[in-house]
A and B are shown apart, each in its own frame.
Chain A
Amino acid sequence: MELKQFQEAYERLKRGRRGEPSWLRILRDGAKDFFLRNGFPASDNDAWRHTDLSAFRELPFTPGEDAALISPGELKVLQDKAGKNFILVMNGKLMREYSTIEPGVEVMGLEEAIREKPELVEPHLGQCGASGAEAFNALNTVFFRSGLFFHVPEDMTVKEPLQVVFLADPAKEHATFFLRNLVVIGEGSKAALAETYLSGNGRGYFSSAVTEVFLGKNAILDHVKIAKENAKVFHFASTRTLLRHASSFSSFTLLTGGRLARNECHAVLDEEGAACALNGLYLSDGDQLLDQQTFVDHRKPAGKSHQFFKGLMAGNSRGVFNGKVVVRQDAQKTDAHQTYKGLLFSDAAQVDAQPQLEILADDVQCSHGVAIGQLEEDAIFYLRSRGIGEKEAGRMLAQGFALEVIERSGVQRYKDELISLIDEKLSEQLGNRKG
């Protein structure tokens, strides 16, 4: 995708957006200017030094429309599997007929919310710029056409987790999907949200997904994100969260799919006593590049943040982890910890980790740790001495390594589903493993 194509696509889409409110136009124009000024991140950009975009840049992705192909029968199967509070978004469009939502929670397409609920959308949309502007975020702001808007009013507990499946089913190669989700959780409310990104067919596409989360005072949100699109997909996503007084955000991200998948978790602890726990796991093989980025911004006192991420790399794949914690001058009594562990299964696999601490307050407890290695020979020997085959021994140890993140993440209700996803990917990874 070249800047010229970007400009053309922008002009083309602009005509169809006459009905948009002026605040949205200003937001989009600002993002467009930013993108035109800065372009795609270059390799000397510290946040991108390990993530090579050349394969992505070579492909002729052009923002535009796309039609759905999946048959209603297949969708029904998805719906039946999911149960309560299931929301299906296909090629960016909310499929109401396949969705069931608990009363009291407002869920609607973002384009609808912009029209119907401007008083809730305007003050939030695009206002979560945790670490300032960034190229793919700007692209998303310029081009997003759809996505979801969630609103949980004050003092409400949403009993069942909201489960959203984003299904991309492009009719031709090199399609693009720009999804923008906005989640507003009112004061004292509690909810859980799970986002799953799936491909409907084997075509490659560019998927850009930005989810902005606003947590009111004492609000709690448990967030799960699963991205398992096909091996030709380029997935650039970010979840940006703004936490108010004593609110709490916990997230778990599982990345297994995509040719290149980059997931950013940004959390801004904007008021006193907020807490966030970011956890994640990625498993890569073949020529995949999976990239997890985190940014936690402690702005006010007594915040807590815990990060725990792991990566398992096989084949020729690459794993990247870049985690940043900033503790501002006002954020005394901050407690911030971060851990990343990487496991390499093959000689051609690679992992690059960049944990970063920027501390401007003195009364803090901060730490980060990184460990990169491979399966323990002694542990494999132990299992083999008990009559377990080498491959099975490796699988057991790898599974144990992966499960630790789930155990620590408090995502018990998804545990079985996550374990089966991990097992599925692990057998792909280890199947290709030499020796």
Chain B
Amino acid sequence: MTNDPESFLKKEYPYGFVTPIESDAAPRGLNEDTIRFISKKKREPEFMLAWRLAAYRQWLKMKEPAWSSVRYPKIDYQDIIYYSAPKQKKDGPKSLDEVDKEILRTYEKLGIPLEEQKRLAGVAVDAVFDSVSVATTFKEKLKEYGIIFCSFSEAVREHPDLIQKYLGSVVPVKDNFFAALNSAVFSDGSFCYIPKGVRCPMELSTYFRINAMDTGQFERTLIVADEGSSVSYLEGCTAPIRDKNQLHAAVVELVAHEKASIKYSTVQNWYAGDKEGKGGIYNFVTKRGLCQGAHSKISWTQVETGSAITWKYPSCILQGDHSVGEFYSVAVVNNHQQADTGTKMIHLGKHTKSTIISKGISARYGKNTYRGLVKMVPRAEHARNYTQCDSLLMGDRSSANTFPTLEVANRTSRAEHEATTSKINEDQLFYCRQRGMSVENAISMIVHGFCKEVFKNLPMEFAVEAQRLLGVSLEGSVG
């Protein structure tokens, strides 16, 4: 490809702006007082504070992991504001009218038609602005089905029994450094409980947005699907332009009981830093699902185009017999972005199945790593796994690593792994060009084809957005 790599699109991050609203922030730094401040601010019950403090003490004993292939300057954990909330007039808005107009305007700029949401059939939005939920729609409708879908803080107050039962049951506090940090200081997030036998009538979604200077965002999401229920959850994010890196260490826990199914989709487009690699979000996330009951299913789909550094491994613990885990991923890195992502499929139950499809695209100086584990323990008889990881390289400074691990410990299980790495096929490109397509259209088409297997697993609303995002992310890089 002979085109000048700089030739098309030097588009700046279109969502980079800061909404000037007052924040009710915690003092900079982290100690037990910070945690007490957060807990008090959120009017949490005693057990929650005790849990946070225990997590903090655990975190102090842990070391920041260094085994991944991502590189970043050392994070000063005392130089982060761990809590910030938009100022509230009274106790909390009950309808959109009560929501700060500035915030609503922010959403409009982002293209989230919050005010239209009520009319838009099928999507309930629990929008998280910085750390506090400001509006929740469709709640009443969900209530009819007995579905609980609310902000995490609300769940802690309203449904402490469920929180106590499930919080930390999939990602224990001491699981890893960032999970422990999150457990200590998590600000807010979403909670969802689908009762027995209920199919959630709409796609649930949350938009995250990081705002206010130097605020770490520590989301906590917990989704529980009781016996025979099913739910599809969407998560999408954008963030304003910043020069200083922002840390984001979220934890997502999913629990699927017998015959339940959870589909968790993510489109992540946080600020990736500028062309020189300055700024951008550090996205260090722990996502894990537990297929607790027999015949349960958890499916992760992710499209990662943003963040300066993405470091996450959405995983499945296949505990119930005949449970199913899936992982579909597209990770795009451009400029100086780095991504170390993949999945773990831990087969514990008999006849458990897992599928992993991972597509990595590295452009310019982008570094993309797939790191995965498929483990089949001796009692996981007749377990089955299929893994495919493909990498596409665009530019001689980009890199792609593939580090899968397979551990099989019984003779009735099967695991297969395939991986390829190459650049865009010249013949395919030539064919498209010869049909009169421009280079960029041809490349765009080939890249879309490369990712199609993953995109087709996204819910409709996201599939369109994901394609558009992919185009924007790679613009200016092909050539």
Residue numbers of A with Cβ under 8 A of B are 46, 50, 329, 332, 342, 344-374
List the 4 closest A-B pairs by CB distance, nearest first. A362-B393, A344-B411, A350-B409, A373-B414
Contact between B407 and A350, CB atoms less than 8 A apart: yes
> Do A346 and B411 contact each other (CB < 8 Å), given the known contacts A357-B421, A365-B422?
yes
Interface membership of B394, Cβ < 8 A: yes
Selecting from B140-148, B220-228, B397-405, the interface stretch reads B397-405
Q: Is the Cβ of A354 less than 8 Å from the Cβ of B404? A: yes
Restricting to B403-437, which residues have a CB under 8 Å from any CB of A? 403-423
A-B contact pairs, 26 of them (CB 8 A): A342-B408, A344-B408, A344-B411, A351-B406, A351-B407, A354-B405, A356-B404, A357-B403, A358-B399, A360-B399, A361-B393, A361-B396, A362-B394, A362-B395, A363-B423, A366-B420, A367-B420, A368-B417, A369-B417, A369-B418, A370-B418, A371-B415, A372-B406, A372-B408, A373-B414, A374-B411
- Do most interface residues of chain A lie in helix, strand or loop, or is the interface mixed? strand
Which residues from chain B contact A349 at a C-beta distance below 8 Å?
409, 411
Residue on A with the closest CB to B398?
Answer: A362
**Docked-complex contact A329 and B397, CB < 8 angstroms:** yes
Tell me the B351-376 residues at the A interface (CB within 8 Å).
none
Q: Is the CB of B405 within 8 A of A353?
A: yes
Contact present for A348 and B404 (CB under 8 Å): no
Alpha-carbon separation in the docked complex, A102 to B172 (Å): 67
Quick check: B405 and A372 within 8 Å, CB to CB?
Answer: no
Closest to B416 in A: A371
B459 contacts partner chain A, Cβ-Cβ < 8 Å: no
Contact partners of B302 in chain A: CB under 8 A: none
Give 15 new A-B contacts, CB below 8 A, not counting A364-B421, A366-B422, A372-B408: A347-B378, A349-B409, A350-B407, A351-B409, A355-B402, A355-B404, A355-B419, A357-B403, A362-B395, A363-B396, A363-B423, A365-B421, A369-B419, A371-B414, A371-B416
Given contacts A347-B411, A353-B406, contact A359 B416 (CB under 8 A): no
Known A-B contacts A370-B415, A372-B413, A373-B414; A354 and B421 likewise in contact (beta carbons under 8 Å): no
Task: Point out the residues of chain A lying under 8 angstroms from B399, CB to CB.
Answer: 358-360
Q: How far is the CA of A102 from the CA of B421 in the complex (A)?
A: 45
Interface size class of B (residues with CB under 8 A): 20 to 34
B417: contacting residue among A50, A344, A355, CB under 8 A: A355
Instruction: Compute how far the CA of A372 lies from the CA of B406 in the bound complex, rounded to whole angstroms.
Output: 8
Q: Which residues of B contact A371 (CB under 8 A)?
A: 414-417
Distance from A395 Cβ to chain B, minimum over Cβ atoms (Å): 16
Contact of B423 among A46, A346, A362, A367 (CB under 8 A): A362
CB closest chain-B residue, reference A44: B67
Measured CA separation A357–B67 after assembly (Å): 16
Complex-state Cα separation, A404 to B403, whole angstroms: 26
Closest A residue, CB atoms, query B423: A362
CA distance A275 to B420 in the complex (A): 19
A342→B414 CA distance, assembly (Å): 10
User: In the assembled complex, how far is the CB of residue B339 from the closest CB belonging to chain A, in whole angstroms?
Assistant: 14
Query: A361 contacts which chain B residues (CB < 8 A)?
Result: 393, 396
The answer to whether B393 touches A364, judged by C-beta atoms less than 8 angstroms apart, is yes
A residues less than 8 Å from B413 (CB atoms):
344, 372-373
Q: Does B319 contact A (CB under 8 A)?
A: no
Cross-chain contact B411 with A367 (CB below 8 angstroms): no
Find the B residue at minimum CB distance from A373. B414
Docked Cα-Cα span, A374 to B402, in Å, equals 25
> What 1/0 mask marks residues of chain B from 146 to 188 whose CB sits below 8 Å from any chain A CB?
0000000000000000000000000000000000000000000
- Could you say which of A347, A370, A374 contacts B416, with CB atoms under 8 Å apart? A370
How long is the Cα–Cα vector from A332 to B403 in the complex, in angstroms? 21
Query: Does B391 sit within 8 A of A, measured CB to CB?
Result: yes
Whether the Cβ atoms of B402 and A356 lie closer than 8 Å is yes
Least CB separation from A362: chain B residue: B393
The answer to whether B417 touches A359 (Cβ under 8 A) is no
Residue in B404, B407, B421 whose beta carbon sits within 8 Å of that of A359 in the complex: B421
Given the interface pairs A352-B405, A364-B422, A366-B420, the reply to whether A357 lies near B412 with Cβ below 8 Å is: no
**Complex interface: chain B residues within 8 A of A360 (CB):** 399
Shortest Cβ distance from A350 into B: residue: B409
Find A367's partner among B394, B400, B401, B418 (CB 8 Å cutoff).
B418
Asked if B403 and A367 make an inter-chain contact with CB atoms under 8 angstroms apart, the answer reads no
A297 to chain B, nearest CB (A): 14
CA distance A358 to B417 in the complex (A): 16
Closest chain B CB from A332 CB (angstroms): 7
Q: Which residue of B lies closest to A343 (CB)?
A: B411
Q: Which of B72-92 contact A (CB under 8 A)?
A: none
Are the CB atoms of A362 and B409 closer together than 8 Å? no
Complex Cα gap A369–B418 (Å): 4
Closest CB of chain B to A264's CB: distance in Å?
A: 18
Whether B400 contacts A357 by the Cβ 8 Å rule is yes
Residue on B nearest A337 in the bound complex, by CB: B420
Q: Which residue of chain B has its CB nearest to the CB of A49?
A: B405
B419 x A357 contact (CB < 8 A): yes
Q: Closest Cβ of chain A: how far from B326's Cβ, in Å?
A: 19
Bound complex: CA of A371 vs CA of B417, how far in Å? Answer: 6
* B378 partner residues in chain A, CB cutoff 8 A: 347-348, 350
* A359 contacts B391, C-beta separation under 8 Å: yes
A175→B398 CA distance, assembly (Å): 49
Is A347 a contact partner of B422 (Cβ separation < 8 A)? no
Q: Write the chain A residue with the least CB distance to B376.
A: A372
Assess the B415–A356 pair: CB atoms within 8 A: no
Interface centre among A50, A350, A359, A365 (most CB of B within 10 A): A359
> In the complex, which residues of chain A have a beta carbon less than 8 angstroms from the beta carbon of B417?
353, 355, 368-371
CB of A351 within 8 A of CB of B401, answer no
Known: A347-B410, A352-B407, A371-B415. A359 touches B400 (CB 8 A): yes
- Which residues of B sit under 8 angstroms from A329, Cβ to Cβ? 396-397
Chain A residue, CB-CB nearest to B412: A374
User: Roughly how many angstroms separate A357 CA and B360 CA in the complex, as a whole number?
Assistant: 13
One of B394, B404, B407 near A50 (C-beta < 8 A):
B407
A370 in contact with B394 (CB, 8 Å): no
A377 to B444, CA, bound (A): 45
Alpha-carbon distance between A373 and B385 when the two chains are bound, in angstroms: 10
| Residues on the B chain within 8 Å of A356, using CB | 401-404
Q: Which residues of A lie under 8 Å from residue B403 when comparing CB positions?
A: 354, 356-357
For B415, the closest partner residue in chain A by CB is: A372
Measured CB to CB, the closest approach of chain A to B221, in angstroms, equals 30
